[in-house]
Structure 1
Amino acid sequence: MLEDEAADSLTENKEARAKKLWQMADAVCFDVDSTLCTCEMIDEFAKYLHCYEVVRFTEGTMNGEISFRESLKIRLSILKPTREQLEVLFKKKNQN
């Protein structure tokens, strides 16, 4: 009985913390590449911008050589994406 109550309390604490984090977030990023879409979008974007060094960081992440968080920071700092650039790329990808 006490174990069940402790487990319930722990679950409630995790849920409350998660809810608080969501409410405090300025932005949320989901990694859906090759899951919900058929390619690695950051790599596609890098190719579009001719920033081929970005692919190396993607591969390093997939090989466990660098954390996803660090790799994402590096790749985005190299690319410095703008909304307009992304919209052009998405239009090109949707035409194919």
Structure 2
Amino acid sequence: DHLPLYRQEAIFGRAGVAIPRSTLASWVGQCGVQLQPLVDALKREMLEDRVLHADETPVAMLKPGNGKTHRAYLWSYCTTSYSALRAVVFDFADSRG
């Protein structure tokens, strides 16, 4: 279940545990860095399949400093139901390039 960090911060606060949002964000970032080799290996394995489903979802991304947004993309790659490997990988890109 997705729960934004500001809500998690409030939930912890009501429970009497003060965990700043910046700390929660740092933990999420550290997990992402630690898990990246696993994601890369999974993506390489998925690319060996003959058929792969892909989806491109445009998202608004805030440009730092000027308060404006630009179009970025969330890509999802998924194996088929006929594949021995059942996997989904999400990839974020700030452009189609």
Question: What is the TM-score when the length of structure 2 is the normalising length?
Answer: 0.28
Richer in helix (by share) = 1
More strand by share: 2
Q: TM-score, normalised by structure 1?
A: 0.29
